[in-house]
Amino acid sequence: MRHWLIKSEPEVFSIRDLARVKVTGWEGVRNYLARNFMRDLMAPGELALFYHSNAEPSGVAGVARVHGEAVPDPTQFQKKSEYFDPTSLRSGPRWMMRHFEFVERFPALVPLATLRADPALRGMALLQKGQRLSVQEVSAAHFAHVVALGRATRPR
């Protein structure tokens, strides 16, 4: 059982949006390592921290669950999509994605600064300098710690 962190810009798609639509395809990932995590390593039912990037502040907003098996990202075949990939073939799609299901939204976001200041989260990939990966693996201990921080937040 692995644990994950998935990033989204809340102005594009937030934890509120996921709570509303319940399940969404994680479209538009165009990084090979992130794709490999979704395609090869995720298993249905595994949990992911839902991270708001490029936000004020950025931070972890809640939890989502891997829903179903890897499927081709439909946007790679859509000419009008910003994620269109003319070199990807329907007979062998380059970009695979998962669906994610809403699990919980924390009372308030756990800001990145809070995560950085917490010695229990030392070594977490998200906190490494220069890392920008939009799908990351998180250790079980770090995952549980962040969820505890999130559940302890007060609504604001």
Residues 6 or more apart from 116 whose CB is under 8 A from it? 127
32 binds DNA (CB under 7 A): yes
Please list the residues that pair with 62 across neighbouring strands: 50, 105
Residues 6 or more apart from 39 whose CB is under 8 A from it? 70, 96
90 binds DNA (CB under 7 A): no
113 binds DNA (CB under 7 A): yes
- Selected from 12, 54, 89, 141, the binder of DNA by CB under 7 A is 54
- Closest CB to DNA among 63 and 135? 135
Closest by CA to 146, choosing from 37, 124, 73, is: 124
- Closest CB to DNA among 13 and 68? 13
**Terminus-to-terminus CA distance in the chain, angstroms?**
33
- Say what the alpha-carbon torsion angle 57, 63, 69, 75 is, to the nearest 10 degrees: -30
55 binds DNA (CB under 7 A): yes
- Closest CB to DNA among 36 and 152? 36
Q: Give the position of tokens 């490494």.
A: 128
Stretch that binds DNA, among 26-34, 42-50, 68-76, 90-98 (CB under 7 A): 26-34
- Selected from 24, 58, 75, 76, the binder of DNA by CB under 7 A is 58
Size of the site for DNA (CB under 7 A): 19
CB contact at 8 A, 44 and 67 = yes
- Selected from 43, 107, 131, 151, the binder of DNA by CB under 7 A is 131
Closest by CA to 156, choosing from 42, 27, 59, is: 59
> Tokens standing for 18?
């996921």
- Selected from 22, 31, 43, 141, the binder of DNA by CB under 7 A is 31
Q: Provide the binding-site residues for DNA, judged by CB under 7 A.
A: 7, 9, 30-33, 53-55, 58, 112-113, 116, 129-134
